[in-house]
Amino acid sequence: MNYTIGIDVGGTFTDIVVADQSGTTIIAKAASTPADQSSGVLDGIALAAERLGLSAAALLRATTRIVHGTTVATNALLEGKTARVGLLTTEGHRDVIEMREGLKPDRYNLRMAPPDPLVQRRLRLGVTERMRADGTVETPLNQASLTTAIDTLAQAGVQSVAVCFLHAWRNPAHENQAADAVRARLPDAYVTTSFDVLPQIKEFERFSTTVANAAVGPVIQNYLGRLQGRLREAGYSGELLVILSHGGVASVAEATRLAAGTALSGPAGGVAACVALSRAGMAANVIGFDMGGTSTDIAVVRGGQPLLAGDKAVGTARIALPSLDIVTLGAGGGSIGKLDRSGLLAVGPESAGAVPGPACYGQGGTSATVTDANLVLGFLDPANFLGGRRLLDLDAATAAVARLAADLGVSVPEAAGGIHRVVNSRMADAVRVATVRRGVDPRQFTLLAFGGAAGLHVAAVAAELGIGRVAVPEAASVLSAWGMLNTDLRVELSRSLGQAGAIDAAALQAAFAAMEAEGRERLAWFDGEVALRRAADMRYGEQVFEIAVPLDDVDWSAPDLAALLAERFHQAHEALYTYALRDQEVVIVNARLSAIGRLRPVEPAGAAGRTTPVAAKGERRVFLGDWRMVPVFDFGELAVDQVVAGPAVIESDTTTVLLRAGDSARFDVRGWLDIGVAG
């Protein structure tokens, strides 16, 4: 038997999915280990192996592929625990990353402090050199200036160096020379150039992304190297793949080279799962609702395709690499309920995390969290958390909520219900940000709930948004890890073109040819099918923004190729904004190419063999405005097309779903609950 393993490291739990050739899956959850995430990974693999009746070594020997999502880069940027970075740049341009674009995120906030740059000013050093915008040399690279700058960085003990020269996107010769000199002088340093990371115009985005890459590069390099070594020692001999922010996976070498591309590694697995389930027939349009222990991630999939963004902020870092458009907020099972400065109840973004965790974990936590509230309300079974491997302490949860209730002047159940409702409202607002503000009507979508905590909240969130249909997969608690097994190898490449004059079709074709060669080279180790997708960022000459135009089915031999490309842009612009200006000049800003190595997906296993409806396994006292007894069903025993009417609780070892009065759930043969939501 051969296996594939998906691993999703979250703030509270590390999720493991093991799939065999038939699509049958085994899941496991282990506590995350923030000090060294690889320990939690190996703990999770050992738990999964135990469920299969194997040793961890036997499981790893039979495994052909491991795909890993990690929060290492994200945590490093958010917590300020990045490498000590030095920046080499064109003389006179060392303050680009601090001046940014001259705008504040909140431009009318007079008290807003400027973001701290990832490189101290004394470690941002100018080098005498200059490239023109057309790629010709204006000032040759001065070796004495370069040597002096590198010596200064060496004396400062930098661990990483970013090389960002003006107009290097057009001609990287000076950057390459400088990088070679740094590697010779500082052989242990992580060295990255802007051309290698983001060869595009707009110097702040290029500089900022490269500096972020340098800041997390050593962190990712050390972590993935350590994990790879521990997996080898444990018996694994295959390739370790890492999911990147754009939703594709890459080798450890590629993930280390483009370390900033792992900033949304974990949430990307959830979006990959949304895409896979959409294509499996769940719905063409879905909103991914991933509620874990620390945060909730929202993403939109339209027509089976995820929405992409070209610019994301992680902490103070701006990263302009292609990434999935994910809205994240600090609202999860570990989010803490407290009084704000106005004396009103607030929930999050502060979280109890994995350590000490919610009060009910019995690890010393004393704050009232969302999980504590759900336990007090009767939504969770204290004896069935993680399949009984962890018993929840109802008394500790009640005591934590009672302290908050005293401050609010309400009863304990009312305080717990308040925490539940407030976090629901916060998450509904996040869905609005991900949809309404992007011109998407959420009522036309299915809300796909996953993550360990989502099932208890999703119906109420959907009702607040006017969404009538919710889906909850049987493997909801580990769906991000499952999604990682349903994506492909992917290398994203881009090249900026000239900014003046009519479309130069020959230059565009040359850029695609160069990127194709580079993409195939980066996937040379992969012996499967490689597909290519082409696109271009285009705009009208007077515009200051671009839109991405797919170019996969263009006839590149057409005699009027430039006019054909312009018409593609007109059509795309009209589809987005309802008008096109065909009398205006069209400019191609960036050429983009995706090199995709096709991997064998893991199809949803389904539950075709479960044909006999089952009765509730018992009842539970829950608080839904008042205390009442509701039936409790075993998620893993529901028959195909069995209908459960709310109010009810449907639970498995790792997932609990709450149906309110008027909600109705039907178990789909493909392995998910299809819930009709009461208004």
pLDDT digits (tens, 9 = 90+) for 326-385: 888 888 899 999 998 888 999 988 888 777 889 999 888 899 999 999 999 999 999 877
Report which of residues 408 and 439 the model is more confident about. Answer: 408
pLDDT digits (tens, 9 = 90+) for 191-236: 999 999 999 988 999 999 999 999 999 999 999 999 999 999 999 9
List Cβ neighbours of 310 (8 Å cut-off, separation of 6 or more): 320, 321, 322, 323, 548
Residue 500 has pLDDT above 70, yes or no: no
DSSP per-residue codes, 375-393: HHTT-S-TT-BGGGTB---
Measuring CA to CA, how many Å separate 209 from each of 97, 262, 352?
A: 10, 12, 31
What percentage of the chain exceeds 70 in pLDDT? 98
What average pLDDT does this structure show over 499-513? 85
- Say if residues 116 and 211 touch (Cβ distance below 8 Å): no
SS3 257: helix
List Cβ neighbours of 300 (8 Å cut-off, separation of 6 or more): 285, 286, 287, 288, 306, 307, 325, 434, 435, 438, 440, 445
- How confident is the model at residue 605, as a pLDDT? 61
pLDDT digits (tens, 9 = 90+) for 531-561: 999 999 999 988 888 888 999 888 888 889 9
- How confident is the model at residue 60, as a pLDDT? 94
Nearest to 434 by CA among 285, 245, 212: 285
- How confident is the model at residue 350, as a pLDDT? 85
CATH code, residues 489-597:
3.30.1490
d(CA 167, CA 136): 10
DSSP, res 113: P
Report which of residues 499 and 535 the model is more confident about. Answer: 535
Residue 127, judged by CB atoms within 10 A of its CB (0-12, 13-18, 19+), counts as buried
Nearest to 326 by CA among 292, 284, 287: 287
> How many CB atoms are located within 10 Å of the residue 8 CB?
36
Model confidence band, residue 604 (pLDDT cutoffs 50, 70, 90):
low
> How many CB atoms are located within 10 Å of the residue 103 CB?
7
Question: Across the chain, what does the average pLDDT equal?
Answer: 91
d(CA 13, CA 10): 5
Q: Where are the alpha helices (DSSP H) in 92-142?
A: 96-99
- How confident is the model at residue 89, as a pLDDT? 97
The full set of domain ranges for the chain reads 77-222, 489-597
- How confident is the model at residue 501, as a pLDDT? 66
Least confident range from 239-243, 401-405, 557-561: namely 557-561
Least confident range from 92-106, 393-407, 609-623: namely 92-106
pLDDT digits (tens, 9 = 90+) for 35-81: 888 999 999 999 999 999 999 999 999 999 999 998 888 888 877 88
What are the tokens at 255?
A: 């993930």
d(CA 384, CA 394): 13
- Say if residues 370 and 420 touch (Cβ distance below 8 Å): yes
DSSP per-residue codes, 542-558: T-S--EEEE-TT--TT-
- How confident is the model at residue 442, as a pLDDT? 94
Report which of residues 569 and 389 the model is more confident about. Answer: 569
pLDDT digits (tens, 9 = 90+) for 277-332: 998 889 999 999 999 888 899 999 988 888 877 778 887 888 999 899 888 888 88
- Say if residues 198 and 323 touch (Cβ distance below 8 Å): no
Residue 570 has pLDDT above 90, yes or no: yes
Model confidence band, residue 608 (pLDDT cutoffs 50, 70, 90):
low
Residue 585 has pLDDT above 80, yes or no: yes
d(CA 80, CA 60): 34
> How many CB atoms are located within 10 Å of the residue 23 CB?
14
Query: What Rg, from alpha-carbon coordinates, does the chain have?
Result: 26
Q: Where are the alpha helices (DSSP H) in 623-671?
A: none
Measuring CA to CA, how many Å separate 517 from each of 169, 383, 514, 591, 637?
A: 18, 57, 5, 14, 51
- How confident is the model at residue 295, as a pLDDT? 83
Amino acid letter, residue 434: A
DSSP, res 265: H
- How confident is the model at residue 175, as a pLDDT? 97
Least confident range from 30-34, 83-87, 426-430, 457-461: namely 30-34
Residue 422 has pLDDT above 80, yes or no: yes
Residue 661 has pLDDT above 80, yes or no: yes
Measuring CA to CA, how many Å separate 122 from each of 89, 99, 128?
A: 13, 15, 17
Model confidence band, residue 592 (pLDDT cutoffs 50, 70, 90):
very high
- Say if residues 262 and 220 touch (Cβ distance below 8 Å): yes
Pairing mode, strands 643-645 and 664-667: antiparallel
What average pLDDT does this structure show over 483-494? 92
- Say if residues 366 and 328 touch (Cβ distance below 8 Å): no
Nearest to 150 by CA among 195, 196, 110, 187: 187
d(CA 528, CA 344): 57
This prediction has a pTM of: 0.87
Residue for token digits 């392995």? 671
Q: Where are the alpha helices (DSSP H) in 409-478?
A: 412-434, 458-465
d(CA 248, CA 270): 12
- How confident is the model at residue 308, as a pLDDT? 79
d(CA 190, CA 73): 15
d(CA 537, CA 547): 5
